[in-house]
């Protein structure tokens, strides 16, 4: 299919050249028979996975050396769109030469990254990311068939979206890698929350342990903390070279206040919030900093989770690891 044969070139710009090439010329599409597997000296493994929500399906063929568990060859059949073909082809290529246990660790993020033309530009538009998730799931199905176990035994992370089988780790990685700022963007990239919607926020037809709104909030707070830490030139030292543990309460207040002014208040101000230091108390092991949130922060649940973690981490990094931040 030529680049502009069906639709405008502007749409194709959202797909990497690698993806476009694999749509038209997949390297690993086809079947492997029992006879072919025997000639290679391996066991044939066949696994299927289908996404009922979008109608796509993929069949994966492995030839596995039973002495070493190494995947000698891999092919696939894909019943779906061009992106599903490209993702499945890349997935099959990534499996070759790996042991079954190593192949199970291949994620949909790995598949998407392998299809990129460069590290910075996504290989496919957000709404097509679910195709790489399907490739990830069929690997687990093949490994489960080979090992004679249930595919769920390979899950080493909590599944947040059962419909699209998207894990907590995958959601956090996608938020960080693509700088996502909304639940809608998470859904576009991973399909999490696209179907029954119970994982988006409390109140759906099924209660969940983790919700996308909370994961987004806490992950964004972690990202902001990392950004502020990286931009800081050096630890602020307002005590004239005196070790923090030996400072007076007034000196500690100035030290902490200076870091808050430079690294924390700008972060809070972006959301219409602020804070003030109410008291500083030393205990045997810690310096407890009592704060009160102001403005929009005063009623925000993140003030006791993600935002609090970010504030405490910055102060521990730039002032003293003994600091504890306690909101009042």
Count other C-beta atoms under 10 Å from residue 296's C-beta. 15
CA distances from 18 to 13, 32, 123, 285, 307 (A): 12, 25, 8, 56, 40
- Establish whether 131 is a catalytic residue: yes
**Phi and psi dihedrals of 189, rounded to 5?**
-80, -35
> What is the rounded CA–CA span in Å between residue 303 and residue 182?
19
- Of 196, 202, 267, 206, which Cα lies nearest the Cα of 231? 267
Of the residues 95, 131, 161, 297, only one is catalytic, namely 131
With beta carbons less than 8 A apart as the criterion, state whether 27 and 89 touch. yes
> What is the rounded CA–CA span in Å between residue 206 and residue 63?
40
3-state DSSP call for residue 157? coil
Retrieve residue 205's tokens. 């037809």
Which residues, 6+ apart, have CB-to-CB distance to 159 below 8 Å? 165, 166, 167, 168
> What is the rounded CA–CA span in Å between residue 20 and residue 15?
7
> What is the rounded CA–CA span in Å between residue 317 and residue 136?
38
Burial state string for 302-317 with b = 16 or more CB within 10 A and e = fewer than 16: bbeebbbbbbbbbbeb
Q: Give me the residue label for tokens 């290529």.
A: 93
- Of 223, 237, 227, 248, which Cα lies nearest the Cα of 318? 237
Q: So which residues are the catalytic ones? A: 54, 131
């Amino acid at each position: 299919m030529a680049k502009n044969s069906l639709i405008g070139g502007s749409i194709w710009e959202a797909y990497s050249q690698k993806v476009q090439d694999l749509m038209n010329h997949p390297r690993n599409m086809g079947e492997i028979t029992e006879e072919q597997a025997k000639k290679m000296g391996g066991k044939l493994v066949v696994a299927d996975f289908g996404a009922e929500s979008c109608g796509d399906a993929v069949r994966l063929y492995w030839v596995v050396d039973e002495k070493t568990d190494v995947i000698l060859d891999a092919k696939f059949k894909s019943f779906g769109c061009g992106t599903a073909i490209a993702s499945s082809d890349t997935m099959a290529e990534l499996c070759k030469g790996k042991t079954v246990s190593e192949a199970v660790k291949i994620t949909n993020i790995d598949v998407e990254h392998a299809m990129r033309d460069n590290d910075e530009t996504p290989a496919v538009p957000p709404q097509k990311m679910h195709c790489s998730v399907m490739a990830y799931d069929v690997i687990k199905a093949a490994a489960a068939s080979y090992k004679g176990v249930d595919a769920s035994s390979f899950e080493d992370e909590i599944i947040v979206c059962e419909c699209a089988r998207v894990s907590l780790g995958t959601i956090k990685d996608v938020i960080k890698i693509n700088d996502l700022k909304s639940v809608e963007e998470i859904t576009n990239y991973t399909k999490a929350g696209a179907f029954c919607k119970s994982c988006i926020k409390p109140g759906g037809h099924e209660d969940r342990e983790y919700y996308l709104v909370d994961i987004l909030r806490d992950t964004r707070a972690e990202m902001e903390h990392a950004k502020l830490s990286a931009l800081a030139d050096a630890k602020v030292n307002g005590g004239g070279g005196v070790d923090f543990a030996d400072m007076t309460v007034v000196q500690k207040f100035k030290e902490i206040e200076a870091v808050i002014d430079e690294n924390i208040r700008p972060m809070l101000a972006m959301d219409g919030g602020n804070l003030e230091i109410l008291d500083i108390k030393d205990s045997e092991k810690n310096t407890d900093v009592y704060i009160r949130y102001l403005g929009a922060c005063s009623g925000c649940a993140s003030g006791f989770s993600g935002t609090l973690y970010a504030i405490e981490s910055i102060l521990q990094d730039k002032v003293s690891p003994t600091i504890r931040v306690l909101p009042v």
